[in-house]
Structure 1
Amino acid sequence: MAPGTQVLASWSPIGEVTTIRSRSVYSNFNFNSGTSMATPHVAGVAALIKKAHPDWSPATIRSAIMTTASVLDNTNSPIKDPSMPGNPAASPLDMGAGHISPIKALDPGLVYDATTQDYIKVLCAMNYTSRQIRVFTNSSYSCKNQSLDLNYPSFIAYFPDDQNNSTSNQTVVHVFQKTVTNVAKGGMAYTAKVTGMDGIKVKVEPQKLIFKSDI
């Protein structure tokens, strides 16, 4: 699912775009917002990536699109949230991963892949019954292994309300385990960098990943 606001796209020439002085205005292009406008564009980008990398899984393609997206607009400023007073900077919950970059997504470097079994483990952790899971998978599956920590290129941590005196002075630790795959050609080195996390201590292990060339 892709969010989107004021997306410029092709439009049916017989569909009214707007009205000016009670007169209907038609055009081959129109601005529109919502997932119904954004998702088809992202699906098109996914199709282009699949053509370039036919061996990539849907999860790998999604990861490539998300990790190469930009959180800056065309003025090099943080993407704004027009639905809020004052147009403040949008959060990931508002804009998702950011503005997609199809060219960069072709060569993302590291990707987060996930299998069908990984998604089933999430369903199990969400307390879906075996019967309900069978509706999704069309097969029987035992929920012996379950985990909400999907190998997804994004995650969120929930913390107790600070106004709750019983927990406000406690240290809360959240651990997320991720597996990345290097899809870049040749040897590569990646270093983790954490920004914009005031009041929260984040530790990444290992801090650096080095991939040797296959040649």
Structure 2
Amino acid sequence: MLFGSAMMTTNALDNTDDTIKDIGDNYRASSPLAMGVGHVNLNNALEPGLIYDANAEDYVNLLCSLNYTMKQIQTITRTSTYNCLNSSSDLNYPSFIAFFNENVTSSDTKIVKFQRTVTNVGGDTSTYTITLTPLDGFKVTVMPDTLKFTEKNQKLNY
């Protein structure tokens, strides 16, 4: 699944190096929800710099948290060796899942924390600055906002 995270983080621009447009919103710049993970750049995906490690069990735990039945999970995984003892919607991936009650008013505050672990598969010493595209009505903070790696295959959290 390492290649999947590499493809997800390659490019948020279209093939003309312009922002991806949302056809359903009069061709305005797409939000992350409209464009998904962006335009895949296979050349960049071959050397992503960072990868988000996730294994098969992590995906099953996500399916469990989304209330998939064991029959559905077995259909997807083609095995019955998994269980839902460690269900979690927090998959170590470049994207995030947060559920909010539709009855919450704007004066209510809900804090959702996520942790991600990335592995440096780029150069021995690499620095990455985290950028994000917040959605209207949400305040998003990333800590730390810069990751400094001192060796290849080093793992850091943010």
TM normalised by structure 2 equals 0.78
Larger Rg: 1
1:145 aligned residue (86, 92, 114): 86
Any residues of structure 2 matched to 1:1-215 within 5 Å, and which?
59-72=1-14, 74=16, 76-84=17-25, 86-137=26-77, 138-160=79-101, 167-197=105-135, 199-213=137-151
Contact 1:160 / 1:168 at 8 angstroms: preserved in 2? no
Counterpart CA distance in 2 for 1:196 and 1:141 is 35
1:78 maps to a residue whose letter is: T
Unaligned runs of at least 5 residues, structure 1: 1-58
Counterpart CA distance in 2 for 1:69 and 1:96 is 11
1:92 maps to a residue whose letter is: P
Unaligned runs of at least 5 residues, structure 2: 153-158
Q: 1:109 to 1:118 in 2, by over 3 A?
A: same
Q: What percent of counterpart residues are identical?
A: 47
Contact 2:57 / 2:82 at 8 angstroms: preserved in 1? no
Counterpart CA distance in 1 for 2:73 and 2:88 is 15
Aligned to 2:155: none
Contact 1:123 / 1:133 at 8 angstroms: preserved in 2? yes
Counterpart CA distance in 2 for 1:159 and 1:134 is 29
| RMSD of equivalent CA atoms | 2.5
